[in-house]
Copies of this chain bind each other. A is one copy, B any other.
Amino acid sequence: MRLTTKGRYAVTAMLDLALHEGQGPISLADISERQGISLSYLEQLFAKLRRNELVKSVRGPGGGYQLNHEKQAISVAQVVDAVNESVEATGCARQGDCQSGETCLTHHLWCDLSNQIHSFLNGISLADLVVRKDVKDVADRQDRRHSSQVFLTATDSLRADKAAV
């Protein structure tokens, strides 16, 4: 089992998409700036998210990424899984062949733990996160800090209007 910045980055980036839903495609450059994640690294993560059909992409200027499903339908567990960070606590992938073909002494304990974690992360959707107070607070701060050029150009507000329809 393993949960590092990899999985955390993925969830954070997906939550960023959910927060800016309805504003058209969001570029990775925007996410990189807002969330403090390396652009190149984001590209690699989104390649996996796209292959798992959690996001869809639009290429070219004004392009970026959008959620491929309703926010309610995307769980944190799905996102973490998509970037290959299993929250599986057993070493045998639940096979029970941990100790040279046989079940090890603590196999069932780690199975129980895996169930706990998985059901917890499975029960939280991006929609659930979006409405949380602690998430809103941080999102507001980030928007205030990075809103400098959002409504500066005519094309940008035009795009936002189009997307809002």
Contacts and interface: CB of A to CB of B under 8 A. Distances in A.
A12 B91 CA distance: 13
> How many copies of the shown chain assemble into the complex?
2
Given A2-B3, A3-B89, A138 B16 contact: no
A148 interface: no
Given A2-B2, A91-B5, A109 B129 contact: yes
Contacts of A129: 106, 109
A142 interface: yes
Interface of A: 1-5, 8, 11-12, 15-16, 35-36, 76, 89, 91, 99-100, 102-110, 113, 116-117, 120-121, 124, 129, 132, 134-135, 138-139, 141-142
